[in-house]
Amino acid sequence: MSKYRMRDAAALLGVSDDTLRRWAEAGRVTVIDDGGRQAIDGVELVRVAEEHAASIPVLVPTPPALASARNRFVGVVSRIVRDEVMAQVELQCGPNRIVSLISRESADALELEPGVLAVASVKATNVSVEVPT
């Protein structure tokens, strides 16, 4: 089971530690005890991230003057569908939902499951998934 300290979960959600603690006090987020510290289970974090993302208005950003060829989105695996050869991996990265098709072998090697922290590296139309070590 993946679990995240409040500080790390808040950063992944794009909110302050205080906001996340208020959400927990209000019952919006279920926290667990992690050796005397509050933490959030990875699957619960996905639920909250998806709920939070749905509440953010979608704005059309102004194109940047300079853009990187590679973009990295840190997030949490929200869903994974495996077949014999391929795996569809969905990540909730703040308000962004990223979907990647990778080999099943890669998904298994990365031990991807809902609630696992991962990074989507995007270049053109290809998205690869990494797990921080």
Rounded CA separation 116/96 (Å): 16
Architecture of domain 71-130: Beta Barrel (2.40)
Would you say how long the chain is, in residues?
133
- The Cα-based distances of 83 to 22, 43, 44, 86 in angstroms read 40, 22, 25, 6
* Model pLDDT, residue 101: 94
* Model pLDDT, residue 94: 84
pLDDT, tens digit, 9 for 90 and up, residues 28-74: 999 999 999 999 999 999 999 988 887 766 554 444 444 454 677 88
Per-residue confidence at 129, pLDDT binned at 50, 70, 90? confident
pLDDT, tens digit, 9 for 90 and up, residues 107-117: 999 999 999 99
Domain residue limits, the chain? 3-54, 71-130
Rounded CA separation 12/31 (Å): 15
Rounded CA separation 34/109 (Å): 27
* Model pLDDT, residue 70: 61
Q: To the nearest whole number, what is the mean pLDDT of the chain?
A: 86
* Model pLDDT, residue 3: 93
Res. 85: pLDDT tops 80: yes
